[in-house]
Structure 1
Amino acid sequence: MTAAYDIVVVGAGWYGLAAAKAASQIMPDEKLAIFESSETPGGTWSKDRLYPGLKSNNMIGTYEYPDFPMLESRYGVKPNTHIPGSVLYQYLTDFAQHFDLYSKIQFCTKVDSIEPAEAGWKLSVIGPSSEKTVITKKLILATGLTSTPNMPIYNGQEKLGVPLFHAKEFCARAETLKQVKNTVVVGGGKSAFDVAYAQVQAGSTVDLVIRDNGHGPVWIAPAFVTPFKKRLDQLLVIRWMTWMAPCPWGNEDGFGGIRGFLHGTFLGRWLVDTFWKVLSGDVLSLIKYDSHPELKKLKPWHSAFWIGSGLSILNYPTPLFDLVKEGKIKVHIGQIDRMEEQTVVLADGTRLQADVVICSTGWKKESPIKFNGLGPQQFGIDVSQEEKEKLIQKADLDVCEMFPRLRDQPKLRFTPKPADPLRLYRFIVPSGYVFSRSIAWVGAVSTVSTSLCAAVQGHWTAAYLCNSLDRLPSNTDEVIEEIMLHTQWGKWRYPCGYGASLPDFVFEGLPYIDMLLRDLGLETHRKKSWFTELTKPYKPQDYAGLVEEWQAIHDRAESKP
């Protein structure tokens, strides 16, 4: 079987739906298809991944599309509360239906491989009952960063005799775990905390095992921080606060002079360090890690300055850390040596009884799709290894010259694995395909501003694919120079996060959106006054009607003689 389309979007999560919406608006006459491997839309929030108690880190008002408000009258989420996973699944489904995308989604359909074709791209697609070849002129990949579980293999795991699985399966298995008395959870991230909390609520005790040579316990903060008790998810998109992040595209916000002072002078760097010290100190004091010996084990190992988007928010109905102090969650910092029958044995000899072992061990930062015939241009740059090394050295020097603070790296407990990061122009387009305008990756970033980034990336991608951007490099050398600077910056900026392997945004998200808007010829300062521009958080409604605004500007430009 063979099918042909003008545009194919792979993935129906936040980024895939946003890109499909923009593409259908900007190119309404093009034949569009969306392939989704799950049974439902939603990506991370698809129906088959909703484990008990799952909620968003963000609160209502910062986790929605600009053109589709999450109304309390429709979804029942009260102001200043976190959004249940079931609501997010319904919201994303409603979004797809509202913008006439749902009928274009082919569910339970997996893209197995991709290769260049004469007319664009050839996809090998596995559907519910058949395999087929799909030809498309333009391809948008939105498979995300949480598709392929990173599942460790342990010595003796075949002897364990009880369920051992990744947290991705927690939803499907949750009902079978209600009689479990002893749960072992592996991991120190937010999902590990979520699973531990859910298991305690179901009547189990939990042993939480965090590697002593990993990233350590997650930075997790109350929803309201600073002495002024401001929402953390909104602080990250306040213009003046974004100045405190050393960022190579930061000047896109129009405040390059202030940024130069803050990161290029001794006094400026002292102010930046003080800002991060106050912000981190407030979180540590609110949680009171040092007040209990077990709780102290969960104290983050490094400053929040180096963490990246792994920063999380406490969103539980009852206090999570009370469960630690009560002994219902027991924390172990160490290594799993081996597994025996219903037992996890740590390297120090500690034996943990286990009725189930759940690994919240993250995700492989790679695409689940096989790529054929793309060569080094798939995720990298098309140069020799010798030339690449020179480009890396130059970019490293440039980053450290721009941001001297980054030279003083934290001392890690682990040795970073050698890895070539995703090297995409604007974190979207492979270097060798920038001028062919036929392929784009959306959602290949880790950010705390998911909904905003998804909406603007989707619009940028649609405009790029139809050759309608106002700003694009003039040659490949410019493309490669920018890619190398931006991707090497990640290694220096977030060594305790994902920066060495992929874009990792916290305060960098708003200037990133500014950069894409400037490429589109759209206004970046969208508040009513300078005071609100600098001091009020950017919210989805600030970007409502972007596509229509862009179309109006370009229609006027085309109508001029």
Structure 2
Amino acid sequence: MGHAAADELIRGKRVAVVGSGKSAFDTVAECAAANGGRYPCAMICRSGRWMVNGGFVWGVSLGHLFCNRLAELTVHKPREGLALALLAILLTPLRWLLSKLAETYFKMQIPMEKHGMVPEESFAGSMSGCRLGVLPDKFYDRVEEGSILIKRARSFSFCTDGLVLDDDDTGERVDADVVVLATGFRGDQKLTDMFVSATFKQQIVAAPLYRQCVHPRIPQMAVIGYTENLTSIYTFEMMAKWVAHLLAGAFRLPSVVRMEASAAEWDEHLVMRRHGEGGGGKPCLGGVSTWYNDEMCRDMGYEPRRKKGILAEWLQPYGPADYAGIL
């Protein structure tokens, strides 16, 4: 749906958005901007989520604190060797301290707790679990003005003129002309449903993907976008480049045994992002994204060190611009 069509759908309507992820916050902000306080947009959240405003902590960007090579030394990585493993153990208190400082700052600066949006997990857990997002501009200003209403509910059901919270006829009702479900999707289920073969269905969920893109025992299939990161579009772009180079014959895959061993080793270091209570999980690169991109670059035949100068290499955060030369 185009922007004009979406704007026509929500303008002058009572809108309820179900979800607490980045897409939900963005949708709510769009609705509030279109309708203002006359038709407040209701945001129905089941669980809290860490959202930050601009990504700066006391003037220092989150990228410089958590997304450069120096910060990556504080986390364990696949095939890192004994020296790096010991260094990660020694630097664990430093990462905890930086995470706590960031957590304290955002709790002071963003009124999440006031509106019931502070999650049970810590900021550090959100960072490693890929549950960190960036707030739309002036989001909580619109909450204070009354153009956004935040409501918490474990479940909901539909009724004639909107929603009933907590799936109870006696529960709170939210009037709505339009209900937007911004609740995400189950990527593992979508992968399984692709296959008719019971063998392939079992293999796709039982074994991790090599380079987070190909299954060692399912030929002629590549998956882009299943494994997430704090900046997923940037990660998906690197996956697409890697698959394109593979199809072009720039490199060959190793043996099935070696792919399985590498995939299993990476799986031990990936955070599993959970789908609700008791649900399955999606792998997340978390704090090892630059290490992952190094592997991808070596496969494609590119130099993994993308910065100019030693200080820049270790202190500046890595981002999409660093890999723009890989076509």
Alignment TM-score, normalising by the size of structure 1: 0.50
Q: Which residue of 2 aligns with 1:248?
A: 78
Deviation, 1:512, is 0.7
Q: Equivalent of 2:251, from 455, 459, 469?
A: 469
Summarize the Cα distance change of 1:500–1:274 in structure 2 as closer, same or farther, 3 Å threshold.
Answer: farther
Separation in 1 of the partners of 2:262 and 2:314?
27
For 1:314, give the aligned amino acid.
L
Q: Which residue of 2 aligns with 1:431?
A: 216
Gaps of 5+ in 2: none
CA distance in 2, matches of 1:488, 1:322: 42
In structure 1, how many angstroms separate the alpha carbons of the residues matched to 2:155 and 2:10? 22
- Label 1:456 to 1:322 Cα distance change in 2 as closer, same or farther (>3 A): closer
1:287 to 98, 105, 110: 110
> CA separation in 2, counterparts of 1:519 and 1:258?
22
Q: How does 1:8-19 map to 2 (within 5 A)?
A: none
Residues 426-462 of structure 1, C-alpha deviations (whole Å, 9 max, x = no match): 11111114xx6x4322333222344543443334323
Query: 1:538 aligns to what SS in structure 2?
Result: coil
Per the alignment, residue 516 of structure 1 pairs with 296
- Per-residue CA deviations over 1:234-267 (Å, capped at 9, x if unaligned) read 6554211223344336x3xxx873443223xxx4
Q: Give the AA of the match of 2:211.
A: R
Distance 1:299 1:421 in 2: 34
Question: What is the match of residue 534 of structure 1?
Answer: 314
Q: Which residue of 1 aligns with 2:158?
A: 339
1:358 is aligned to 2:180: yes
SS in 1 for 2:281: coil
Report the RMSD for the aligned CA atoms in angstroms. Answer: 3.3
Question: How many Å apart are 1:352 and its aligned residue?
Answer: 2.0
Q: How does 1:206-225 map to 2 (within 5 A)?
A: 206-211=41-46, 216-225=47-56
CA displacement 1:59-114 (0-9 Å, x = unmatched): xxxxxxxxxxxxxxxxxxxxxxxxxxxxxxxxxxxxxxxxxxxxxxxxxxxxxxxx
Which residue in the other structure is 1:144 paired with? none
Between Structure 1 and Structure 2, which shows a larger proportion of strand residues?
1
Picking from 53, 68, 87, the partner of 1:238 is: 68
Which residue does the alignment assign to 2:123? Answer: 304
Q: What is the letter of the counterpart of residue 324 of structure 1? A: V
State the partner residue of 1:444: 226
Alignment partner of 1:275 is 2:275: no
Alpha-carbon offset, residue 342 of structure 1: 0.8
Give 1:100-499 correspondences, 5 Å limit: 172-180=5-13, 182-203=14-35, 204-211=39-46, 216-230=47-61, 232=62, 237-248=67-78, 251=80, 257-263=83-89, 267-290=90-113, 293=114, 295=115, 297-307=116-126, 308-316=129-137, 319-347=138-166, 349-365=171-187, 366-367=190-191, 370-373=194-197, 375-377=198-200, 380=203, 420=205, 423-433=208-218, 438-450=220-232, 452-469=234-251, 472-473=253-254, 475-490=255-270, 494-495=273-274
Choose 1 or 2 for highest CA Rg: 1
Flag the 1:225–1:256 CA change in 2: closer, same or farther, 3 A: farther
Give 1:425 shift.
1.0
Cα 1:453/1:207, change in 2 over 3 Å:
closer
What's the offset of the Cα at 1:367? 4.3
CA distance in 1, matches of 2:235, 2:156: 41
Query: Contact between 1:217 and 1:300, CA under 8 Å: does it hold in 2?
Result: yes
Identity of aligned residues (%): 24
Contact 1:379–1:430 (CA under 8 A) maintained in structure 2 = no
Distance, in Å, in 2 between the alignment partners of 1:191 and 1:343 is 21
Question: Distance in 2 between the 1:351 and 1:451 partners?
Answer: 37
Scaled by the length of structure 2, what TM-score is found? 0.81
Q: Alignment partner of 1:503: what SS?
A: strand
1:246–1:326: structure 2 CA closer, same or farther, 3 Å change rule? farther
Change (3 A) 1:541 1:334: closer
Q: Distance in 2 between matches of 1:185 and 1:421?
A: 34
- What secondary structure, in the 3-state scheme, does the structure 1 residue paired with 2:308 have? coil
Distance (whole Å) between structure 2 residues aligned to residue 282 and residue 422 of structure 1 = 40
Describe the shift of the 1:199–1:541 C-alpha distance in structure 2 as closer, same or farther (beyond 3 A): closer
| Uncovered stretches (5+) of structure 1, i.e. residues with no partner | 1-47, 52-170, 382-419, 548-561
CA distance in 1, matches of 2:206, 2:282: 5
Give the Cα–Cα distance (whole angstroms) in 2 for the partners of residues 463 and 173 of structure 1: 37
CA distance in 2, matches of 1:195, 1:466: 39
Query: CA offsets, 1:114-149, max 9 Å, x none?
Result: xxxxxxxxxxxxxxxxxxxxxxxxxxxxxxxxxxxx
Deviations 1:190-248 (A, max 9, x none): 2222222222222221222212xxxx222111114122332x45655421122334433
Deviation at 1:379, TM superposition (A): 7.5
